[in-house]
Amino acid sequence: MENGGGKGDVPDDANEHCPGTQSEEAGKADACAGCPNQQICATAPKGPDPDVVAIVERMATVKHKILVLSGKGGVGKSTFSAQLSFALAEMEHQVGLLDIDICGPSIPKMLGLEGQDIHQSNLGWSPVYVESNLDDAVIWRGPRKNGLIKQFLKDVDWGEIDYLVVDAPPGTSDEHISIVQYLQATGIDGAIIVTTPQQVSLIDVRKEINFCKKVGVPVLGVVENMSGLRLPLSDLRFVKSGESGETDATEWALNYIREKAPELLSVVACSEVFDSSKGGAEKMCIEMGVPFLGKVPMDPQLCKAAEEGRSCFTDQKCSTSAPALQSIVKKLIKTE
C-alpha cells in the first residue's frame, strides 16, 4: 500500500501508511511510531505556510533554480556545485550559489570565502560576492534547519540572477523536503544528481531519483563523478622500491622519457579507481529513464582548485576534468 495518498509530502524514509507531513496526524498517528521523521512532523506547522508568498516574491527575480543532490556523501557533490556555478558565470550568466548543507557546509571553502560574513540591508541579507556575476549565501548556522532554509530563500537579496544553484546535503532528509516544498511554489527547473561509478553509491542514487519522482521534481540528469583517474604522464610521481623503502624517482623517470620517448609526455595515463563493471551511472540512467549528463574523471588538479577556492576553468591545469565539466554544463543548458 502506498504512503500518504500520493500528495508528494511523504518523506522517502517514512513508515508505511504515512499520513503525510501536512496532515494533522503527522507525527501523531500510530503509523508514525518509530519513524525517523516523527519529531519533525509532530512539531512542524501544518497547512499553508504564510512565508511561501514572501519566498515566491523573493524568487521572482531568479530565472532558473537547480538543486544539486547526491545519495551518499563524499562523491564530490559540492565540488560539482561550485564548478557548475563558476562555469555558468564564465558563460556570462548571473549566478547565485546557496549551501543548505547546514551540518557540513563546504561551499565557503570551495569559493574562497571562509571567514566572510553576510551583511544586512533594507532589502534583506546581502550575499557575499565571489566575482561580479557569482555570489554565495554564507549565512550563520543553527539547529533549526527548516527555519534556516526558509530564511535563505526569503531573506537573501539575490537580485536579478539567471541561475540559483542549491547545494543540498546528501541523502533524503527534512532539508530536502523543505527546499522542495518552498521551491516548487516558485518554479524549480529540476535536480542534478551526482554519484560515483560503484554500486554502493548507485544504490543510494536510485533512492534519490525515486524521491525526486515522488515529490515531482524533474531529474535534469545524473553526473558520474570520479569516473576513473586521468592524469598527464608528466604529472605522475615515480618511486623505486627497495629493502630500505621507497625513494623518489620522478626526476630520473621523466628525464629518461624526455630522452628516449618524448612523445609520451603528452600521453594521459588512465586507471579505473572504482568498479564500474556493471555499467555505472550511465546504465542506471537507462534503466530508470533519466538523462545521463556525462562523466568527470578524478583529477588531482580539480581537487587542488577546490581546496584553493578557485575555478578550474581559468587556466589549463585541470586539463582532464575541465573539458568534461564544460561538456556537462553545455548539455544541461540545452536540456532546459
How does pLDDT run across 113-130, given as a tens digit for each residue? Answer: 666 666 566 666 666 666
59 contact partners, CB below 8 Å, separation of at least 6: 65, 153, 164, 183, 186, 187
| pTM greater than 0.85 (yes/no) | no
Q: Is 72 annotated as a binding residue?
A: yes
At 115 the pLDDT is: 61
What percent of the chain clears pLDDT 70, i.e. is strictly above it?
Answer: 81
Residue 18 annotated in ligand binding: yes
- Pairing assessment for the beta strands 190-195 and 62-70 based on DSSP bridges: parallel
Is 8 known to sit in a ligand binding site? no
Note whether 106 and 173 are within 8 A (CB). no
Provide the total of helices (H) and of strands (E) in the chain, helices listed first: 11, 13
CATH number of 51-228+275-334: 3.40.50.300
DSSP per residue over 191-243, as a string? Answer: EEEEE-SSHHHHHHHHHHHHHHHHHT--EEEEEEEEEEEEEEGGG---EEEET
The size of the chain, in residues, is 336
**Has 128 been labeled as part of a binding site?**
no
Task: Enter the C-alpha cell of residue 7.
Answer: 500528495
Between the CA atoms of 190, 290, 86 and 124, what dihedral angle is there, to the nearest 10 degrees? 10
71 is in an annotated binding site: yes
**289 vs 230: which has the higher pLDDT:** 289
Known binding residue 77? Answer is yes
Task: Assess whether pLDDT exceeds 70 at residue 206.
Answer: yes
Domain range summary for the chain, segments of one domain joined by +: 17-47, 51-228+275-334, 229-271
Ramachandran region of residue 20, left (φ > 0), alpha (ψ -120 to 50) or beta?
left
Mean pLDDT throughout 233-261?
A: 90
| pLDDT, position 4 | 45
Handedness of CA 22, 27, 33, 35 (dihedral sign): positive
pLDDT in tens, 41-93: 776 666 667 788 888 888 899 999 999 999 878 888 888 998 999 999 988 99
Q: Say if residue 74 carries a ligand binding annotation.
A: yes
Measuring CA to CA, which residue among 269, 321, 279, 315 is closest to residue 297?
321
Neighbours of 307 (CB within 10 A): 12
299, burial (CB in 10 Å: exposed 0-12, middle 13-18, buried 19+)? buried
Which residues lie below 8 Å from residue 140, measured CB to CB, with a gap of 6+?
Answer: none
